[in-house]
Structures are given as C-alpha cells and as structure tokens.
C-alpha cells in the first residue's frame, strides 16, 4: 500500500469513528434535552443496535456483487449524513425514531464493507491494519473527551451540528474510494492461529471440522455466542445511560469527557498487550478474568457514582471489559473456524448475535431498570447479566478449554 493509499484509508476511519465518538457518549444526553425519558433513550439505542443486525449482511452482499463498490460506499455515507441531519430541529419521539432508524441502517452498513476493502487492499500485509485503524481510535478519543465540555458551553442543540462535520468527512473520504474496483478474493486457506496467539491443535484442524453443518451448530459455537450476548447485555446501561448517570451524580461535561477518554486510552493500551496475555493464559482464562472485572466495574459505577476517583478506576476496567475480552473472542473464533471462508461468515454471525441482538436486549434492559431505579439499578442489572455470562463460561469450561488451552 502506497503512502497515498495509506492516507486515503486512514482518513475514512478518522471520520467514521470521530462521528461515533460523538454519537455513543452523547446521543442520550441530547434525547433527554429534547424532553424525553429513559424509555425513549433506550428505544433510540435499540434502533441503533437493530441497524447492526439488519444492514451489514445485506449491504455487504449487494456491494460485493457490484463492479463499482466504491459507489456503494459513497452512497451509504451520504445517506447516513442525511439521516443524521434530519435530527436538527427535531423534538418529537417519532421523528427522532425515524431519523435514527435511517441513520443506523446506513452508518452501520458501510463499515463492514470498508473493513473488507481495507483488508483486501492490504492483502498479505494485513499486519499493517493497526497502523490504519488507530486513526479511528484517535478521533474517537479526541471527540469523546472534548464534546462534553463543548456541549456545556454551546448547549445541547449543538450536538447535531458538532457531529455533522465528522459525517461529512466520511463522505469526502468515501469519495476518494469511488473508483476502487473489486479486489481479487483472498485464497481460501486456514486462518493462521498464531496471528491471534492460538497454538495449533489437531482438534481444531480443518480435517477435524464437521462439514455441511451450520456454523452455529458446531461444538463450542453456541456457548461462545451466549457468553458474548450476555456480555453485551451487561454493557447496555453503559452505552445507553453512562453519560446521563454521571451527570445525575454531579459530574460536569468536562469530567464526563475525561472519563470516556480514560476508557479509550486503556482500551488502546490493552490491544497492544492482549496478544501476550492470550499466548500465556489462553482465551478461557482471559475471558473469565474480563467478565469478573466487568461485574465489579458495573457495581462500582452503580454505587460510587459521585466519586470521580472511583469512576476513573472503573473506567480503567474498559481495558478488560472491552479490549481483552474482544481479543479473547477473536482467538476463540480462530480456534473454532480455521477456514478463512468460514471465518468471514462466522464473524457476521458473531457481530449480529452479540452486537445486534445483545445490543437491542441490553438497551431494553437498561431503559426498564433506569425508569424504575435510575442509574444505580441500571448498572446493577448490567452486573447481574454479566455475572450470568460468567456462570455460563464456567459451566462450559471443559468443552471450551479442550480447544482453547490445548
């Protein structure tokens, strides 16, 4: 990949995750400012996660069949921008739902397509993916850390106008890819387990895999899907109400932004360390530790909310709750799906099941708990959901570790 291509691909990640850094922490705050309660906030985030379930597989299939996939990327980004722009001046719940549904469908659709474009462009230099993707983490960090302070000074209505420039940047970055042609499909070859710290195991070799069996029915897959769904369920209060909970506990916009930034910084640092941890301890032990840390994290957020120090400590747990857990899931996926064509389909299954279904259910759980007991009970509910997932992980230890720690 030439330096010019590196900049083209990095720019898209910069714009996309900059917009996400505004949306995820602050959409709930904006909805409340329009005069709505917890159920509407939960419904908005539920529609957002619902878009993750429906849009990516359909959009990826259509764009993959097109001789000009770059045109699909530009169209998706432009339609996402128009959907979000419809929020300007909107106050009724129904209008917000319609605009968010439109935005969620197209914004969630384009990233899986672009990820495939990036990996195809890198070809055998996929180890350089992190050098491109890190620009997304940088923009998310800057936006999440600063927009709380900006909204305190400019007012809640500025949220939409502060987010639109990042969406416009994604359109501009997508335009640079409008003439990209379909890349040759990658060879169907076994995934290299060492790329994610997986040791070779005869039980996970292609020859040992059942053929003709649906992916979700393979041994070990359903337990992994259930564990990841419950982990995502536990994250529901965090993604939906974390900013509102902190503000209710007396933290201003600057403090909220700093706390989000602490979590992202710890997440990035853990992604650098995760391969060594997985190589030493294996996916099962790492995921078990992550879920235990996450239970404690949500309880701290629930009961010690007024303390900035305790909230900062809880945010360091994002290194385990998100980064290390995600890395553990990727190692487990490499163990369960060594064939590359299976891995592509399995990633879609995992994304839709955990991020999609788990996200929708998590938003619903969070909104009900918030309405009946505020932030405290919402995060207690998140801790209980994670604890159930921890129990499932312990109960399936034998079958899990047969491949994970071989």
Round to whole Å and give the CA distance between 337 and 346.
Answer: 7
Reading the block at residue 18, the tokens are 């900059």
pLDDT of the residue at 193:
43
Sign of CA dihedral 285, 277, 301, 356: negative
Backbone φ and ψ of 180, nearest 5°: -60, 135
Angle subtended by helix axes 93-122 and 38-65, to nearest 10: 40
Domains and CATH numbers, the chain: 3-175 (1.20.1250.20), 193-201+216-404 (1.20.1250.20)
Measure CA 158 to chain center.
Answer: 25
Scan for tokens 């078990």, then name that residue: 288
Measured distance CA(107)–CA(99) in Å, rounded = 12
Looking at residue 214, what is its pLDDT? 64
CA dist 367 and 35 (Å) reads 16
Q: Mean pLDDT, consecutive 10-residue segments, the chain of 406 residues? A: 84 95 93 92 90 77 78 94 93 94 92 77 68 85 93 94 97 91 49 42 40 61 90 94 94 94 90 85 91 98 96 96 87 72 64 82 92 92 96 82 53
Question: Could you tell me where the DSSP H helices lie in 306-358?
Answer: 308-316, 318, 325-336, 340-350
Q: In a 10 Å sphere around its CB, with 0-12 CB exposed, 13-18 middle and 19+ buried, how is residue 400 labelled?
A: buried
Tokens 């709930």 sit at which residue?
28
Which pLDDT score is estimated for 343?
56
Please state the φ and ψ torsions of residue 339, each to the nearest 5 degrees: -80, 135
Residue 297 has a pLDDT of 98
Strand partners, 339: 190
| Per-residue pLDDT at 203 | 36
Per-residue confidence (pLDDT) for residue 321, from 0 to 100: 94
């Amino acid at each position: 990949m030439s330096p010019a291509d590196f900049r083209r691909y990095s720019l898209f990640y910069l714009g996309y995750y900059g917009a996400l850094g505004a949306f995820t922490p602050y959409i709930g705050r904006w909805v409340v400012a329009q005069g709505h309660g917890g159920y509407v906030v939960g419904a908005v985030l539920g529609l957002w996660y619902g878009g993750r379930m429906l849009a990516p597989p359909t959009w990826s299939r259509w764009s993959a069949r097109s001789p000009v996939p770059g045109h699909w990327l530009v169209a998706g980004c432009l339609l996402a921008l128009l959907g979000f722009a419809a929020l300007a001046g909107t106050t009724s719940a129904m209008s917000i739902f319609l605009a968010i549904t439109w935005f969620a469908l197209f914004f969630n659709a384009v990233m899986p397509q672009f990820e495939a474009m990036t990996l195809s462009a890198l070809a055998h230099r996929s180890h350089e993916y992190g050098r491109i993707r890190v620009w997304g983490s940088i923009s998310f960090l800057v936006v999440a850390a600063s927009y709380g302070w900006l909204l305190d000074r400019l007012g809640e209505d500025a949220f939409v106008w502060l987010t639109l420039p990042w969406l416009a940047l994604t359109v501009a970055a997508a335009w640079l890819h409008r003439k990209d042609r379909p890349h040759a499909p990658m060879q169907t070859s076994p995934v290299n387990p060492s790329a994610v710290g997986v040791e070779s195991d005869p039980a996970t070799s292609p020859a040992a895999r059942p053929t003709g069996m649906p992916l979700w029915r393979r041994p070990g897959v359903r337990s992994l899907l259930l564990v990841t769904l419950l982990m995502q369920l536990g994250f529901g209060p965090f993604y939906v109400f974390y900013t509102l909970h902190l503000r209710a506990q007396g933290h201003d916009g600057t403090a909220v932004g700093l706390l989000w930034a602490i979590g992202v910084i710890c997440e990035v640092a853990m992604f650098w360390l995760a391969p060594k941890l997985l190589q030493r301890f294996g996916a099962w032990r790492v995921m078990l530790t992550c879920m235990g840390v996450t239970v404690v994290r949500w309880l701290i957020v629930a009961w010690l909310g007024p303390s900035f120090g305790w909230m900062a400590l809880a945010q360091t747990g994002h290194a385990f709750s998100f980064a290390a857990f995600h890395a553990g899931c990727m190692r487990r996926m490499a163990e369960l799906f060594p064939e590359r064509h299976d891995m592509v389909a399995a990633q879609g299954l995992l994304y839709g099941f955990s991020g999609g279904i788990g996200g929708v259910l998590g938003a619903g759980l969070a909104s009900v708990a918030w309405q009946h007991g505020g932030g405290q009970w919402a995060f207690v509910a998140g801790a209980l959901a994670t604890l159930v997932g921890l129990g499932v992980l312990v109960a399936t230890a034998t079958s899990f570790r047969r491949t994970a720690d071989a």
